[in-house]
Amino acid sequence: MNFQVRKQKIIEQLEQDGIIDVKEIAPLLETSEITVRRDLAILAEQGLLVRTHGGAMKVSLSQMPVSFAQKSAVNAEQKDEICRKAAAQIQEGDVVFLDCGSTVFRMCPFIRNLNIKVVTNSLPIINELMGSSVSLNFAGGEIDSERQAAHGKIAVEHFQRYRADKAFVGIDGISLKNGLSASSEKEAEITMAVAQNARETYFLCDSSKLERDRYFPFAGIDFVKHLITDSRASEGLLGEYRSRRVGMIV
C-alpha cells in the first residue's frame, strides 16, 4: 500500500471518527507505526489534520474553542507597544470609541484607571473594563459570536448617535495604493461608522499589516489622519506614509 492510498484511508477514517490512533491504524494500513507517523507528519504539514500525541485529529475539532484571549496574544509584544502609545493619546474626560479588534482589546489595561467614557461594540472590552473607573456604553445589536461583538445596522446607528473625542480602530490591512481594507464587510461598516463620528480617529495596525491588502477595500489612504504602529516598521515606509499626510505615531 503506497502513500497515496494510505493518505486516502487516513482522511477517510478521520472524517468518520474525528480522531485516529497510530497503533490502531498501522495494521489497517498494513504498515509500521513509524511510517504512519511519517504520513501524519506530512498531512499535518499540509493542514489536513492536527497531530496529537499518539495519533491525530480533525482540524475543526482542534480549533473549536479558540478564545479571544488567545487571539489577542498573537504578536502580543508589538500590540502592547501600540496600545501604550494609543492610550497616551487619551485625556481624562474624553469620550472614546473602541472597536472590537483584538489589538484594541489590549488597550484595556492601559486605560482602566482613567476617568473617561468608552463606547464600544466589543463584549471582551466591556467584560474587561467592568468595575473599573471607566464609564461604559455598549453598542447593541445582533451579536456575532465569533468576534464576540455587536454588528449590523443597529450597532452602526448606535455609534452614530454619539460624538466621540477620539476613536481607536484596529485594521486588518492598509496600503498606500488601496488604502484601508477589511476581511469582512461587517467590520468595514463598523469601522466607518466609528471613524465618521469621532473628532479624531486613530488606526491601530502592527507593522506586519502595513502594505497588506484584504479582500474588501473600503476607504482611501487620505481617510487616515493618524496611524499607530510598532517600531519594527521600516523607516522608508514610514516616510512614504508621512508624505501622504498620514500622521504616523511609532
- Tell me the number of residues near DNA by CB under 7 A: 18
User: Which residues have C-beta within 8 Å of that of residue 66, sequence separation ≥ 6?
Assistant: none
Among 16, 46, 47, 53, binds DNA (CB under 7 A): 53
Q: CB of 70: closest distance to DNA in angstroms? A: 15
Nearer to a second copy (CB atom), residue 70 or residue 115: 70
- The whole-angstrom separation of Cα 195 and Cα 203 is 9
Which of the choices DNA, a second copy, none does residue 155 contact, using the CB cut-off of 5 to 8 A by kind? a second copy
| Cβ proximity of 104 and 98 under 8 Å | yes
- The whole-angstrom separation of Cα 152 and Cα 218 is 16
> Can residue 38 be called a binding residue for DNA (CB under 7 A)?
yes
Residue 242 backbone phi and psi in degrees, to 5 = -65, -35
Q: 151 is written with which cell numbers? A: 454588528
Q: Which of residues 17-56 bind a second copy (CB under 8 A)?
A: 19, 46-48, 50, 52-55
Instruction: Look at the block and give the residue holding cell 464600544.
Output: 120
What is the number of alpha carbons within 13 Å of residue 52 lying toward its C-beta?
16
| Binding window for a second copy (CB under 8 A); candidates: 26-34, 149-157, 195-203, 218-226 | 149-157
- Give the burial class of 52: count Cβ atoms within 10 A of its Cβ; 0-12 exposed, 13-18 middle, 19 or more buried: middle
> Can residue 55 be called a binding residue for DNA (CB under 7 A)?
yes
| Contacts with DNA, residue ranges (CB under 7 A) | 2-3, 6, 22-23, 31-35, 37-38, 41, 51-55
| Contacts with a second copy, residue ranges (CB under 8 A) | 2-5, 8, 11, 19, 46-48, 50, 52-55, 57, 59, 61-65, 67, 69-70, 121, 123, 126-127, 130-131, 135-143, 145, 148, 150, 154-155, 158, 161
